[in-house]
Amino acid sequence: MKTLIKIVSYCLIIFQLTDGRKFRGNRADTEPGEKMKMPYKPKSFFRLYTDSIDDTCTVELFKPHTLDACGFNSSHPLAIIIHGWSVDGMMDNWISRLASALKSSEGSINVVIADWLTLAHHHYPIAAQNTRVVGQDIAHLLRWLEDFKHFPLGKVHLIGYSLGAHISGFAGSNLAVSGKTLGRITGLDPAGPLFEGMSHTERLSPEDATFVDAIHTFTQERMGLSVGIKQPVAHFDFYPNGGSFQPGCHLYVQNIYAHLAQYGIMGIEQTVKCAHERAVHLFIDSLVNKDKQIMAYKCSDNTAFDKGYCLDCRKNRCNTLGYDIKKVRTGTSKRLFLKTRSHMPYKLFHYQFRIQFINQTDKIEPTLTVSLTGTLGESENVPITLVEEISGNKTFTFLITLDTDIGDLMIMRFTWEGSPVWANMWSTVKTMLPWAKSSRGPQLTVGKITVKAGETQRKTPFCPQTDEGVYIEPSQEKVFVRCEKKREKPQQKRRMMMKHD
């Protein structure tokens, strides 16, 4: 029965929320300069995290002794974790994991959990409407901390998941009305239904804090479903794996019926939870794996990123995903893309692979693989998919990702995965027909090859190991090595120095 209720609830998102209904209301109830009215009775609960989700201490508004009793330290920064819509009225497991990661990583930090389960455990449209109330509650809490504890709002970091991301925005805009500004808001896959396409005053936006970042992990639009919001809502918007689907999560292949047939009734719930919640675990990963920070890159869309066009880090075109993001305010939202693994640690290493084929008279659609060797290790064979056939003189660009850091690139092995049957047949023909020994079958002629590492921004040119290396035949591996820089002649060096002087 519990599972059936969850499925029905998710179906509300998929089907009932696609009719374009919108809700509106004032984002703030306090006019500029107006004093906070007392008493204000919040509908949310604020629990200071200590050691576990079962070991929290409730902070009550206008009761300073609860702050002292709970061990709130005004000299430490404050992070408030805000959950999303609740199907079963229970706290999700990720909340304790995130709170623990914040405490373990940062040490001197106050971690508060905003508990709005009584308002979240409703049908989605009602819970979405209640986000304004919870945002108001948090704004009142922060005003009170500023008034009675002289706690600066610049040290506040709201971390909101799904509907909680928009709650963070409403809290920030409530404070902004009275001329106050939050330090930072992080939106973890901000909810899409009833927020997608809305104006900046009706959702999380960059105006809601000094710095706003967001991670989008489930903006899947098939079957009318978009659990997470797709549009940019922050100064930096991250789209791991394109933002619409995450590795390791079941994919909606054709329709809901095919998905049910393949995975059963629990498949829908697990798919939504896996992809939607991935934003949370990517953020936790940034806290617990400090030595494996994930780099993301500005790009126009995921198609261009998959082609390897967007690994440039100049002028703040790339940034670190998660807690340790570089806080650079921008005039417009920047969309950043990246690839991840299916499990923690999620970091992958990105490479832009560029190869030129020259004087190609026959049109060929080969299957190619490449492997890289660096100063720290060697990669496995990575398949390369060509979206168009090779002909004439063309340069192809690909994005390659590796699980491990292999260091400075030294060697590249390039293979045309031809058919072994065809290769054996051609070998037999050359043996039987003497005139065919000197002739060549289909081949590729390779020109320039460069590989750029996104994480280090180093660009490595590769040259054939032998003179025959420029020609590649089916089922043949060719080895390329890092090109040696040509040494300048003494006369050339003196001329260059004199020119610069």
**Other CB atoms within 10 A of residue 111 CB:** 24
Is 92 one of the catalytic residues? no
The pLDDT of residue 471 is 84
Query: What are the DSSP E strand ranges found in 276-408?
Result: 295-298, 318-320, 334-338, 349-364, 368-374, 377-378, 382-384, 390-402
Q: Give, as one character, the DSSP assignment of residue 272.
A: H
Residues 6+ apart with CB under 8 A from 280: 94, 98, 161, 188, 189
Instruction: Indicate which residue of 276, 285, 306, 350 is catalytic.
Output: 276
Nearest to residue 350, comparing CAs of 291, 300, 303, 309?
A: 309
Mean pLDDT of the chain: 83
CATH number of 2-338: 3.40.50.1820
- Rounded distance between C-alpha atoms, residue 215 and residue 322, angstroms: 8
What Å distances lie between residue 86 and 302, 335, 382, 416, 418, CA to CA? 31, 29, 42, 52, 53
pLDDT category of residue 186 using cuts at 50, 70 and 90:
very high
The pLDDT of residue 361 is 59
Specify the range with the lowest mean pLDDT, choosing from 184-198, 265-279, 303-317.
265-279
What Å distances lie between residue 427 and 5, 344, 424, 444, 473, CA to CA? 65, 48, 5, 18, 12
Question: What 3-state DSSP class applies to 127?
Answer: helix
The pLDDT of residue 254 is 41
- Pick from 175-189, 325-339, 482-496 the range whose average pLDDT is largest: 175-189
- Rounded distance between C-alpha atoms, residue 481 and residue 501, angstroms: 36
Return contacts of 70-75, CB within 8 angstroms, 24+ apart: 72/48, 72/110, 72/149, 73/108, 73/110, 74/149, 74/150, 74/151, 75/108
Nearest to residue 178, comparing CAs of 205, 142, 129?
A: 142
CB 225 within 8 A of CB 271: no
pLDDT category of residue 226 using cuts at 50, 70 and 90:
confident
Angle of CA points 276, 279, 285, to nearest 5°: 140
Angle of CA points 50, 51, 52, to nearest 5°: 110
Instruction: Indicate which residue of 162, 168, 244, 379 is catalytic.
Output: 162
Mean pLDDT of 472-490: 78
- Rounded distance between C-alpha atoms, residue 365 and residue 477, angstroms: 17
Query: What are the DSSP E strand ranges found in 189-278?
Result: 211-215, 236-240
Q: Which CATH architecture has domain 349-482?
A: Sandwich (2.60)
Q: Write the pLDDT tens digit of every residue in 145-179.
A: 999 999 999 999 999 999 999 999 999 999 999 99
Q: Which helix (H) or strand (E) holds 303?
A: helix 302-306
Q: Give, as one character, the DSSP assignment of residue 27.
A: S
Tokens read off for 426: 């051609």
Of 18 and 116, the structure prediction assigns the larger pLDDT to 116
pLDDT at 490 over 60: no
Q: Write the pLDDT tens digit of every residue in 81-122.
A: 999 999 888 999 999 999 999 999 998 999 999 999 999 999
Q: Write the pLDDT tens digit of every residue in 242-256.
A: 998 899 986 544 444
Question: What 3-state DSSP class applies to 141?
Answer: helix
Q: Write the pLDDT tens digit of every residue in 349-406.
A: 999 999 988 876 566 667 889 999 999 999 999 998 766 667 668 888 999 999 999 9
In the chain, CATH 3.40.50.1820 sits at 2-338
What Å distances lie between residue 402 and 40, 142, 288, CA to CA? 54, 44, 21
- Rounded distance between C-alpha atoms, residue 298 and residue 239, angstroms: 10
The pLDDT of residue 271 is 66
In the chain, CATH 2.60.60.20 sits at 349-482
Nearest to residue 167, comparing CAs of 203, 198, 119?
A: 203
Instruction: Indicate which residue of 92, 137, 189, 237 is catalytic.
Output: 189
pTM as predicted? 0.85
Q: Write the pLDDT tens digit of every residue in 283-322.
A: 999 999 999 999 999 999 999 999 999 999 998 899 999 9
Is 123 one of the catalytic residues? no
Nearest to residue 168, comparing CAs of 212, 228, 106?
A: 212
Of 33 and 480, the structure prediction assigns the larger pLDDT to 480
Specify the range with the lowest mean pLDDT, choosing from 84-93, 200-209, 290-299, 437-446.
437-446
Residue with tokens 């506040």: 156
- Rounded distance between C-alpha atoms, residue 166 and residue 177, angstroms: 17
Tokens read off for 35: 């004093």
pLDDT at 188 over 80: yes
Is 189 one of the catalytic residues? yes
pLDDT category of residue 68 using cuts at 50, 70 and 90:
very high
Q: How many CA atoms lie within 13 A of 321 on its CB side?
A: 36
The pLDDT of residue 501 is 46
The pLDDT of residue 22 is 37
Residue with tokens 């934003």: 279
Cis peptide before 345 (omega within 30 of 0): yes
The pLDDT of residue 32 is 37
pLDDT at 484 over 90: no
Q: How do beta strands 236-240 and 211-215 pair? A: parallel
Alpha-carbon torsion 35, 40, 45, 46, what sign? positive
